[in-house]
Structure 1
Amino acid sequence: MLNMLYLAIMNISQELSQWWHQQTAIEMAGFVTGLACVYLAAKNNIWNWPFAIVNVSIYIFIFFKAHLFADMYLQVYFLWMNIYGWYYWSHKPGAALKTPVKLITRQQVLLLSAAVIVFTIILGSVLKYTTASYPYIDSFCAACSMGAQILMARKVLENWLIWIFVNVVYVGVYLFKDLHLTAIMYAVYIGIALLGYIEWRRDWKKQME
């Protein structure tokens, strides 16, 4: 019995070691910077933005190689939004220690929903004639992510709820594309996004006191 247990542990260890050595250095760098930027954002720390800029630059290359073209162009968009977010968070009002957290408005919900639907249909219809993988799913996730990134840059609390949803979908996509380390990173993102929602909601409540 002990011998069988020992052999099972050794087999698992060997498989994990083999899997680890199959991961590329660039995906590892994306994994580390991705976790750092999302964790800092969840903690309402402005230094999430430089980490985010490095992270999206890495993933432009990774997604190009994986033929996830909607995600690749999404990273280009993120690059500009991260620069904007860094600028916006740096210009806090008056004597405030941080830029205040806001709640989403009804108008923002309607505009965001319409934009996601239109963007998904148009981009998905274009990408299905290319070598893109999962054109409509990829386009839908890209559209949701674009909306969530705008809300994060503007410090709207509900951005985290969108990230939780879209990251669940992304985990499945990356597993199917054999981007295992990236799938793990997005699984961790789900937990961090939940933390971000709790932290930002706490900050918003303090503002209301």
Structure 2
Amino acid sequence: MPALIQQIVQQFAQTSILEWIGTITGFLCVYLAAKQHILNWPISAISVLTYGYIFYHSKLYGDAVLQLYFLGTALYGWYYWSKNKADKSKPIVSFNNREMGLTVLIIIILTAILGTFLQRMTDSDVPYIDGFCTAVSFVAQFLMTRKIVQNWLLWIFVDICYIPLYFHKGLLLTALLYLAFAWIAWHGYRDWKATYRNFM
């Protein structure tokens, strides 16, 4: 146990300014998204640019490319939420079982493609884990831009999966951030589901 504590303290001491910036802006954007606040999108742009650099240098190539996708969805989400801000009739929608089944199938296919690519084309030591987390995040982010309530269930699941991965990569602060993300995602799911039911 003392060795583990020493490792944690050492990782905190080595945390870069960039990781602090990414952590703070990442926390803010997820918190604001759970509250349906449109400012989550511009703040997320700062976070994803920062983490894109961090993940590339940590050889988490799937996550690095995912940040570029997040940047695009931040711009799209900002536009989509702004356009539909005046429409209060049904701001949140929910998938049925068939749509969720299709969502899982898409994640499985994306995982196979990304994992194979990362294994063959990069020096990643966690190609399929990176590919899986990237695939789930890819889908969850798109569902969030469309205000589909189940996006939060995917985020809870993948945030928990990310924690040991980031610890393995020496990104302790980011691992703790994803623990906080999972907690926020749970509350986001409850709040969005309650809002959805109010408009049913």
Q: Structure 1 length normalisation: TM-score?
A: 0.87
SS of 1:128's partner is: helix
- Offset at 1:132? 1.2
- Residue 121 of structure 1 corresponds to 112
Which of 162, 171, 182 is 2:163 aligned to? Answer: 171
Distance 1:113 1:162, change over 3 A: same
Q: Which amino acid aligns with 2:194?
A: R
Alignment counterpart, residue 104 of structure 1, candidates 80, 95, 110: 95
Greater shift in the superposed pair: 30-39 or 84-93: 84-93
Q: Over the residues paired in the alignment, what is the CA RMSD in angstroms?
A: 2.1
Asked if 1:62 corresponds to 2:54, the answer is yes
Partner of 1:142: 134
Tell me the CA shift for residue 205 of structure 1.
Answer: 2.0
Aligned amino acid, residue 75 of structure 1: Q
2: CA distance, partners of 1:199 / 1:147: 20
Q: Is the 8 A contact 2:90 2:196 kept in 1?
A: no
**Within the alignment, does 1:194 sit opposite 2:186 as a pair?**
yes
Structure 1 runs (4+) deviating above 4 angstroms are none
The letter for the 2-side match of 1:127 is: L
Give CA-to-partner distance per residue, 1:62-106, whole Å, 9 cap, x none.
00000000011111111101111111111126552x970100134
> Paired residue for 2:154, among 147, 150, 162?
162
Name the amino acid aligned to 2:118.
L
Identical pairs, percent: 41
Describe the superposition over 1:4-35 as per-residue Cα deviations: whole angstroms up to 9, x where unpaired: xxxx9xxx89x84x554311000000000000
Aligned twin of 2:68: 76
**Structure 1: 5+ residue stretches without partners:** 1-7
Q: Distance in 2 between matches of 1:107 and 1:205?
A: 20
Separation in structure 2 between the aligned mates of residue 166 and residue 95 of structure 1, nearest angstrom: 31
Bigger-Rg structure (1/2): 1
Q: In the aligned structure 1, how far is the partner of 2:16 from the partner of 2:192?
A: 34
Cα distance in 2 between the residues matched to 1:90 and 1:83: 11
Partner of 1:4: none
How many residues were matched structurally? 195
- Equivalent-residue separation in structure 2 for 1:179 and 1:199 (angstroms): 30
